[in-house]
Amino acid sequence: MEGQARFALYVEESFTLSDSTSNQPYSLELIGARLEGNDILVFQEFETALPPSFKANVDILRAYFPAQTNTLIVTHGSTSRTWIFSGDDEWKEIQL
């Protein structure tokens, strides 16, 4: 459990959502983390209303493991969308 908590805190440093225009990072609330098979799921929420578009950078573990693939799943209401970050991917525009 302690390892999951430490990883969740690391994710806060390696995962950024920001405004598409101003590049200002959004504040996210850490909800928790859990291990599911070989995956560690980290749950965060916007502290305000979810904007219709923003930028995301998901760099988790890629400095240590260049082949690392990260999945971003954004749930808004009853709809979920998925983006994959791998290789040299940096910022991606997220449109809901």
What is the residue-level pLDDT of the chain in tens, covering all 96 positions? 677 778 777 888 888 999 999 999 999 988 888 888 988 888 888 888 888 899 999 998 888 999 999 999 998 888 899 999 999 999 999 998
70 strand-pairing partners: 85
In the chain, at which residue ranges do the beta strands (DSSP E only) sit?
Answer: 15-18, 28-36, 39-46, 53-58, 70-76, 79-85, 92-95
| CA–CA separation, 53 and 33 (whole Å) | 25
- Sorted by sequence, the CB contacts under 8 Å of residue 50 that are 6+ apart come out as 74, 76, 96
The domain locations on the chain are 2-95
Dihedral of alpha carbons 85, 18, 60, 30, sign: negative
